[in-house]
Structure 1
Amino acid sequence: MKIRKATVTDAEGVAKVQVDSWHSTYKNIIPDEYLRKMTYESWGKKWKEIISKQSVYIAEDNKGKIIGFSNGGPERTGKYPGFEGELYAIYILKDHQRKGLGKQLLEPIIQELENQGIYSMLALILEDNHSRFFYEKVGAEKVDIIEIEFSGKRLNQVVYGLKDIRKIQ
């Protein structure tokens, strides 16, 4: 297994992980209508743009296939004083979850934030996503719960905060 910074040529693999992860993780949480509209092609275009502007790290298996990714940077809303960084996304293919890969993908995002003088971080996770307990396990605390909408369905999103990313467990 290898963790490395993504390049725009990785966008298609990142998109595949995102779409496949959403289908396995959010089935029966996010409306099927929304999930059906997610395509490798449309997300591949979005990830090319994101990778060219933001920090994205990928996990590759022994054959060079992308099996997970993480993305983060400065906190985007300004609504949470004391939290300067944000984990924008972390997704891992279902067969590779619960093997320590999440923490490995979190580490380079934390390092990038620290390099920018940022030592606190938020992560926003759907309340019904059981992977949210990962954040509690690494020491994050609930800061807020906000309501969001997917295809007309209202869902709660938990805002987790890490006050000092140097103390991740």
Structure 2
Amino acid sequence: MPGMPIRHALPSDAAAIAAVHVRSWQAAYRDLLPAPYLDALDPAERAVAWRERLTDPAGPVVLVAEGAAEAGAVDAFVAFRAWRGEEAAEPSATAELSALYAAPEAWGRGVGRALLAAAVAAMRATGFREAGLWVFEDNARARAFYQAAGWSPDGEAVVEETGGRELRELRYRLSIS
């Protein structure tokens, strides 16, 4: 999205990131997860976790897209880190895209594409050669989004329990070297 400010997240962004995180889950996963679980998600609780991540020197890299309607507001965020299990490798070859969420009213405006491109550029600049992510198999919208950006499933899958429901997640990969 031309002219959309993307910047590194600050600890002061924790509440805004948490609000986007919860609202995005509630909208995107309404058909995948039980309504009582989604309705009980607490932005204040998530804000505490995000503040911890944003102040941890070993935490993920988090970028935010500022809102078009209000200066400084967060419309979306993306987070990445070394692939779990490779944190000690010097340097780790693979980045894990651990989160990419946009406020529902920002969907379809190019915010996610811009953030994903910024994250891949930052991964490359950090020295990662490959990136991976996990996506719910039944999340057709997200799978189409990642595939349009060049990501592809690599055949790995896991079943995780979320909100009392078992969901299959597929691993997607992207070469970024």
TM-score, normalised to structure 2, is: 0.84
Query: What is aligned with 1:74?
Result: 82
Q: What SS does the corresponding residue of 2:127 show, helix, strand or coil?
A: coil
Alpha-carbon distance in structure 2 between the residues aligned to 1:31 and 1:50: 27
Match of 1:47 among 22, 47, 50: 50
More moved, 41-50 vs 123-132: 123-132
Query: What is aligned with 1:10?
Result: 13
Kindly provide the CA deviation profile for residues 15-39 of structure 1, in whole angstroms up to 9, marking residues without a partner as x: 0000000000000211223212311
Alpha-carbon distance in structure 2 between the residues aligned to 1:150 and 1:54: 22
Query: What is aligned with 2:121?
Result: 111
Q: What SS does the corresponding residue of 1:19 show, helix, strand or coil?
A: helix
- Partner amino acid for 2:10? T
> For the Cα contact (< 8 Å) 2:15–2:47, is it kept in 1?
yes
The offset of 1:125, in angstroms, is 0.8
Gap change, CA 1:149 and 1:77, over 3 Å in 2: farther
Query: What is aligned with 1:90?
Result: 100
The offset of 1:77, in angstroms, is 4.4
Gaps of 5+ in 1: none
Alpha-carbon distance in structure 2 between the residues aligned to 1:34 and 1:124: 21
The offset of 1:152, in angstroms, is 2.5
The offset of 1:124, in angstroms, is 0.6
Q: What SS does the corresponding residue of 2:32 show, helix, strand or coil?
A: coil
- Partner amino acid for 1:127? E
Alpha-carbon distance in structure 2 between the residues aligned to 1:100 and 1:77: 32
> For the Cα contact (< 8 Å) 1:90–1:102, is it kept in 2?
yes
Q: In percent, how many aligned pairs have the same letter?
A: 27
Gaps of 5+ in 2: 87-91
- Partner amino acid for 2:64? I
2:121 aligned with 1:142, yes or no? no
> For the Cα contact (< 8 Å) 1:83–1:122, is it kept in 2?
no
| Count of equivalent residues | 162
The offset of 1:83, in angstroms, is 6.2
Kindly provide the CA deviation profile for residues 80-107 of structure 1, in whole angstroms up to 9, marking residues without a partner as x: xx96111000001112112221121123
> For the Cα contact (< 8 Å) 1:125–1:157, is it kept in 2?
yes
Q: What SS does the corresponding residue of 1:51 show, helix, strand or coil?
A: helix
Alpha-carbon distance in structure 2 between the residues aligned to 1:71 and 1:108: 11
